[in-house]
Structure 1
Amino acid sequence: MVRWHRLVGAVAAALTAFTFAGAVPATAAPATAGDVTPYVVGGTRAAQGEFPFMVRLSMGCGGSLYTPQIVLTAAHCVGRTGANTSITATLGVVDLQSTSRITRRSSYVYRAPGYNGVGKDWALIKLQSPVTGLATLPIATTTAYNSGTFTVAGWGAPYEGGPQQRYLLKAQVPFVPDSTCRTSYPSMVVAEEICAGYTGGGIDTCQGDSGGPMFRPDAAGAWIQVGIVSYGRGCARPNYPGVYTEVSAFAAQIASAAASL
């Protein structure tokens, strides 16, 4: 089973299950990836304010605040490019039921040109009004940060086939070389995708984490986004790392598209 992404964790059994209103299981998108699941497995609960750029989207995906009015997510989470007021973004909280949560409706969706279910898995969602008081997440513009240990976070299932979560989970996953990843995913688009995870499994993104960011500290110690949760086989399975859109490969296109919205 391939999932369109997820986060899974050993702490899942202790967490209170939460189904996000109006959410569509990540496995529902796209038709070519019927066995994809997205969420954070093997994660722990994030602290309020730890990752202020995290966004929960009402179709059951994640995202990151690219600018105060634009969310970066996965192409497989959205429909075609054009006006769209059907998406609700929830921001500013780790608890989706918090009375302090910020919500914004979408006004426009921009899906990566040429996206057909293979590679190019990025999209932008313009919000109807800017969000103030929250940090945005810069994206990598070179491959300089495409190694080491990454952080992933999301409200997705805590185990394969599990429920969406009320509280934001986080986990760390190590870089997996392209040559190793291709043994698990022969169709991996090396120039556009990056892999991370453990050989023995146990920690991963999962159903509902699709579109969320994979990030790490930059040279100054600030967070920088390196990947976008895209797909994987099951969740946290041994020898099947998570596959992420390699943000630096599309940095110029993302910046240009955002400037045009």
Structure 2
Amino acid sequence: MKVLLTILALATASASGAALPGAAEKAINVKDISGRITNGYPAYEGKAPYTVGLGFSGGWWCGGSIIGHTWVLTAEHCTGSDVTVYFGATWRTNAQFTHWVSRNDIINHHNADIALIRIPHVDFWQMVNKVELPSYNDRYNDYNEWWAVACGWGGTYDGSPLPDWLQCVDLQIIHNSECQQTYGSGTVTDNILCVRTPDGKSTCGGDSGGPLVTHDGNKLVGVTNFGTVSCTSGAPAGFQRVTYHLDWIRDHTGIAYY
């Protein structure tokens, strides 16, 4: 039997309990969701150089992925204010460098929980680098049963504070029909990708907007969106499916792989 809950965004406050503008609750009418890495492992320096931390006004924290010299991909529900982008930070607030970005340089999708942040040009090296998007040849690949890694600075257990050290977790992608058994077809639509969360391994609060990258080929296939309010419940975790948004990303950034 499904239990009807309320969907919450996966962003979290690093210092205050203030609501994230426009993101504290999303009227999706299905489940309670939140976003952090639980039961993962500490990342070694340089493991995920495409991962950035996003510190928003009001103390809210999210993740994002560098997809080009001047672009970061993240979740729309994170983007309620100006943001400081932390580049190359394994220790959360000890970045190689930071850039402050006005909310005017944030492009929200509006019809899906995904957003782009236009950043000042960054050079790539071992600690700061881009992750490639799937190619157009893979736009209909559902990645079912593929293994992927999610990274972020979300809490490491239910109700925990944000960790200082970047955490990662390896998760297996599942068919949307399996995910719909928990969240329903109204939430798990074609633009959603889900993963299994066995043994309490999952994303949770503070990981919103962060990357899900395939082990095979190192392609960015997901943007962290939601999970159950108890991140260790074993329920699937949900992401925006990047292949669904390739045209939108290309139209705004010029980035595409053929």
Q: If the TM-score is normalised by the length of the shorter chain, which range does it land in?
A: 0.7 to 0.9
Aligned-residue offset at 1:233: 1.3
- Which residue of the partner structure matches residue 40 of structure 2? 43
- Which residue of the partner structure matches residue 215 of structure 1? 213
Aligned-residue offset at 1:22: 7.9
Aligned-residue offset at 1:128: 3.3
| Pair 1:184-2:149 in alignment | no
| Pair 1:87-2:83 in alignment | yes
1:27–1:207: 8 Å Cα contact kept in structure 2? no
Distance 1:246 1:48 in 2: 27
Structure 1 unmatched runs, 5+:
8-18
Runs of 4+ in 1 over 4 A off after TM superposition: 19-28
SS of 2:219's partner is strand
Aligned-residue offset at 1:145: 6.1
Distance 1:67 1:194 in 2: 23
The 5 Å alignment of 1:1-261 reads 2-5=7-10, 20=14, 29-32=23-26, 35-59=32-56, 60-79=61-80, 86-98=82-94, 101-107=96-102, 108-112=105-109, 114-115=110-111, 120-133=112-125, 134-141=128-135, 142-144=139-141, 146-147=143-144, 148-186=146-184, 187-198=186-197, 200-218=198-216, 222-259=217-254
Percent identical among aligned pairs is 24
Distance 1:48 1:20, change over 3 A: farther
Aligned-residue offset at 1:97: 3.8
2:62–2:209: 8 Å Cα contact kept in structure 1? yes
Distance 2:154 2:192 in 1: 21
RMSD value over aligned CA atoms?
A: 2.8
Structure 2 unmatched runs, 5+:
1-5
1:63–1:73: 8 Å Cα contact kept in structure 2? yes
TM-score by length of 1: 0.80
The alignment covers a number of residue pairs equal to: 234
More deviation, 29-38/19-28: 19-28
Distance 1:253 1:47 in 2: 33
TM-score by length of 2: 0.81
SS of 2:200's partner is coil
Distance 1:174 1:49, change over 3 A: same
1:6–1:40: 8 Å Cα contact kept in structure 2? no
1:3–1:27: 8 Å Cα contact kept in structure 2? no
Distance 1:124 1:213, change over 3 A: same
More deviation, 65-74/235-244: 235-244
**Deviation sequence 1:142-190 (CA, Å, 0-9, x none):** 2436231111110001112221111100001111221111110012232
